[in-house]
Amino acid sequence: MSCCAPSAELALAMTDPHIADEEMLLASRIVDNGVRQTDLSVPSIHCGGCIQAIEAALGALPGVEQARVNLSTKRVAIRWQADKPPPPFVATLDRIGYHAHLSDLGSDAKDETLTELIRALAVAGFAASNIMMLSVSVWAGAEPATRDLFHWLSALIACPALIYSGNVFFQSAWRSLRRGQTNMDVPISIGVLLAFGMSLYETMHQGVHAYFDASITLLFFLLIGRTLDYMMRERARTAVKGLARLAARGALVVHDDGTHTYLPVGEIQPGMTILLPAGERVPIDARVTQGQSEIDCALVTGESLPRPAMTGSALSAGTLNLTGPLTIVATAAAKDSFLAEMVRMMEAAEAGRSIYRRIADRAARLYAPVVHLTALLTFIGWMIATGDAHRAVTIAIAVLIITCPCALGLAVPMVQVVAARRLFENGIMIKDGGALERLAEIDTVVFDKTGTLTLDRLKLASHDRIDPTALTVAASIAAHSRHPYSRALAAAGRDKGLAPLALTDISETPGAGLEAHINGTTYRLGRPDWALTDASANSAALDAGVVLSESGRLRAAFHFESDLRPDVRQSIAAVSSQGCRVEIMSGDRDEPVRRLSAALDVPYLAGVSPAGKTEHIAELTASGRRVLMVGDGLNDAPALAVAHASMAPASAADVSRNAADLVFLHDSLTAVPQAIVVARNAGQLVRQNLVLAVGYNAIAVPIAILGHVTPLIAAVAMSASSLIVIANALRLTGPRLNKQSRAGDSFVQKPLHSLRMEEAR
């Protein structure tokens, strides 16, 4: 499903910079009074300079109110005045060097960018390793003739590698320079080409030193960073695509003449009548006009129990029809549905988080020009002092090599790699290296309830106090249904070793329950108002989820609860002892959330919508808190995306797993305090590595500028600085949690707004 494009044909109109106004209008949507929004995909976005150039160019167009770039999804959201014709968005982007097309979230077109990056990385790695072997032979004292031969062999290996692998940077740099602009790839390209050119000059003149190893190795490390960065952003795009794929592709529509037609979900309009069989997801926001069933809303609202659906009930796109067929009427178009709104919330959250990536890109763009300016000034200074161009160029090259940002570039990713391994050893997968930095900073942990603090299976509560005979009857009937209540009753019967009874005339009423006969007696298992002749006369039955009736009279009432995850209390105590505030925020009903909150002695919010969860996280962030969100449902996905850091269990919905920064693979909730321990230790090592890298440059650069370092020694020093950074990263220790860790000062159970008022005072 796409929330912005009704057909795949729109996404294919990407190469034409003059998309028709009709197509642009069709692909846009009204977002406010008199304001439309158009979403464009711009695959070549990769840095902060791209963001600034695109937003400035589009923002200058007449009628455009706002242009916002999402670096993770490589999409641009443009808001423009609806009473004017569509501005030339695509043509404007093409003019500044960015090819764009109308975005289609449902498109599964293969993205070749990652494949190209991996190929370029492989070629650079192969060339660098072979050139390094030849260089070792030269360093060992080869004869001049052998040295010259090895230099030429290095040149033959380096040249095609430079052309193929360096093209990743050269194309971007040339595109910017051709339009009088610059980006971070410009200084990178200059440095690599200058080192290669000097090496080729030395080789052609039988020079003692050549630096092909330094130039190709530099390219190799740069490609590692670019590839890892792209893979992290690809996961963010996967989260949005996964959310779009959660919806049905189409539905069976009933026309006025009674005929049926299967239509793609994008072509379904408000007012159309749809037949929804049991077991299928609701394709679009709708209202029930005929039939009874039960709806699984766990992925959408977080409710642990199915919700009855009958005539007049409102259904949200993405919910699952469990027990009976329904006839529904669409109440919104696909692009205005609940799922479409979820997509937009996730994209807004990703755009907000991209500030970290923008800062990193700007730092990289500033670092390289300073390095090259230093090398240029060194060249000019030595030319003035000696007039020897060869010596001046050689010293300038040494400065360029010794200031290579390899150590600085490895300072963070090496710690992230080691941390990822430590976490993996404890059953925790990290998907975004930047999440470690954010996780180390958190001071508030917000837990979802259903599927996070509790497991997704129900169990029969207080079964020891239930009449064994009644439980035997109920378990025997329940074995004939796949309803969550039925599975819990059947499991309780098996656990107590109860032998099933012989049943006759078994039938199930969708949305109500099961009916069966035993020795001529009629038994019903299901909702109180259906199973009992007079449900209002039985107060115990009114509070029960399921009752068993015998000839219309109450025989037993059954209550259900969710299993807590293992080590919940220990984990919350450990998180509290680490100085973090703990909250529960759930879309479930108040009563079960309140019971769990009281048992764990933490504050809670219940009945919170997906938008409400996002708003609550935003409120906490605005108050100065840095929030770790732990959730598993579809309704948690936007909150996971907007939080400072996020975690989800492996049992979570696909969308939530993709949106989360970390996923833990086991049932135990100890993964949360374990991840915080690793993140904080990793943060310390990152700061140490940055000090080492900057300190290395502070010492090495002045020595190189004074001419005391040859390019060969510069390359060795550069490699040594990288090895030191790597060795320091390997010092990262895994989590060592004290199982007897005491809880910190916990919050008294009370509404969250009261806590915030007390904090303000």
| Matching residue, tokens 């680490």 | 578
SS (H, E, C) 51-89: HHHHHHHHHCCCCEEEEEEECCCCEEEEEEECCCCCCCH
Question: In DSSP terms, which residues pair with 561 in a beta bridge?
Answer: 459
User: Using CA of residue 567, residue 572, residue 577, residue 579, what is the dihedral sign?
Assistant: positive
Distance CA 157, CA 129 (A): 10
Provide the CB-side half-sphere exposure for 653 (13 A, CA).
29
The DSSP letter of residue 284 is S
CA distance 688 to 28: 49
Q: Radius of gyration over alpha carbons of the chain, in Å?
A: 32
Q: Is 451 exposed, middle or buried (0-12, 13-18, 19+ CB in 10 A)?
A: buried
Q: In whole angstroms, what is the distance from residue 376 CA to residue 384 CA?
A: 12
Residue 338: how many CB atoms within 10 A of its CB?
22
Contact 187, 368 (CB under 8 A): yes
Q: Is residue 593 a contact partner of residue 618, using CB atoms and an 8 Å limit?
A: no
Catalytic residue status for 94: no
Distance CA(79)–CA(471), nearest Å, equals 61
Amino acid at 175: R
| Helix pair angle (212-245, 113-139), 10° resolution | 160
Closest CA to 600 of 743, 741, 451: 743
Nearest to 608 by CA among 629, 628, 636: 636
Instruction: Please tell me whether residue 141 adopts helix, strand or coil conformation.
Output: coil
Separation CA 598–CA 639 (nearest Å): 24
Q: Which two tokens stand for residue 288?
A: 């029930």
Q: Are 38 and 24 in contact (CB under 8 A)?
A: yes
Closest by CA to 444, choosing from 616, 278, 212, 261, is 616
Written as six digits, the tokens of 416 are 């992230």
Q: How many CB atoms lie within 10 A of CB 120?
A: 22
Residues paired with 582 in a beta bridge: 445
Contact 274, 287 (CB under 8 A): no
H or E element, residue 691:
helix 671-705
- CA distance linking residue 121 with residue 164, whole number of Å: 10
Q: Give the whole-angstrom CA distance, residue 422 versus residue 732.
A: 8
Rounded to whole angstroms, the Cα distance separating 98 from 69 reads 13
* Cα torsion 459, 465, 470, 476: sign: positive
**What is d(CA 14, CA 113) in angstroms, rounded to the nearest whole number?**
16
Give the torsion sign (CA, 750, 753, 758, 759). positive
User: From CA 530, how far away is CA 274, in angstroms rounded?
Assistant: 27
Which of 285, 432, 448, 567 is catalytic? The answer is 448
Which residues carry out catalysis? 448
